[in-house]
Structure 1
Amino acid sequence: MSALDRRAALKALTAAVAIVVGSPSLLVPEAVAASGEASWTVQTLEAFADTLIPGERRFPGDSSIAGVVEGPGAVQAGAIQVLQSSKLPLSPLLPGIATLLNARATAYAAVRLIWLPVTRPAFVGLSFTHRTRLVSGLFDASDVDRQIWQVLSLLTGLAFDSASHVDTAEAVKQRHGGLAWTGFPPPGEDGLWRFAQYSYGRPLADLHSQTTASGSPA
């Protein structure tokens, strides 16, 4: 990636975080098929997400997911759906980001004399241990692309922690891996969340008489 491409990628990633955080749900309808036919870009990004938040393999021969733990991880939680969302400005840049990561994986493997299969992306060809070591190095203060990996990781985390690509009530109903892991409570029968106890142990201030129906100040 050139310096200009890096700036464009970082701007798009940062904008994507702002959109995801500012939206109750992206409601992404598209999904990545769980098969070995996924593009090299998708495979690479899946392997990156699985390195951050590991999960179990989806099918025999699933090379993107290392399968070092049981239960769903970032990939099953929708990390790729978030990154590929048509509502985010990332899709045109994902191949370049994946290429950059694979280039780093190739250099990592060459220095350590690690053989990489030619039938899959370089990063996917690494073992989970080496993926973890490589990704850890991407966050070094001296790494020129550190901010790109940081924001990409933040988006991955948002998919797992908040199910940002689906309606929250529906995600809870479907046992979304991240929400289930954190013990996120289900809504009431009307689909709304209410909490019997106040976080500070006492009621908050009375509602202002001119507050609108949406909860906004008049």
Structure 2
Amino acid sequence: MQLIRFMNHCRTNVIMLTSSRDAMVVRGSSDVVPASQLSSQWETLEHYLETYKSLHTGLPIIVAETLLRTDPQIELPLWLVLMFKDNQKNRTWGMAGQESNPASLFQLYVDYGRYPEATNLFLEYVEAFASVRPSNLINRKRPFAVWFPYTTVERLWCQLEELINAKCNVDQCDKLKRLLHGGLLNHLKLLKVDSDDVLSSAAYHWENRKVVLGGAL
């Protein structure tokens, strides 16, 4: 009940950071909120999430989406972003399973026009996937190792193209598009190498099996 009450408060009174170190301005109001009070509210929200997220794995999504819906330009606190990423720890590669995961954060970033964050998050996990050591290659050969939905990645690409065509933030969008293209290209090349490796390994074992069977005969 306390969490619901606090979330309702967030929906109507999202607080934005200003350039001042000592004060915060409430969006849609002329009131000034002391930084200490703002810090206390963030800490309260973090405490509630840490307490209840084990009962509802989608709570980080609810909180992040509420904040972004109220103010699409708000900077999500690092501890909230890490809640999406930490759900991947001690798990095999893939985005299936937990609700609050990097893929769902990526989806939110795209939905609310946070294209730099979406691109950087995508590249972070593509590069981490590519850096898996040879001894752990089996983890990236699993069928569920394609983490981010292709339709969402494609939507990000199309949104960047639309902004470029509309002459809006051309330099930034062009840079993001090139980064996204490079990440996708490298990832697809890696998948091809892995696929070829699997086929070669299967062919090798089949040939050995034929030799053994031939010897047995």
TM-score normalised according to structure 1 size: 0.30
Determine which structure has greater relative contact order: mean sequence separation of CA pairs < 8 Å that are 6+ residues apart, divided by chain length.
Answer: 1
Query: Greater CA radius of gyration, 1 or 2?
Result: 2
**Greater fraction helix:** 2
TM-score normalised according to structure 2 size: 0.30
**Greater fraction strand:** 2
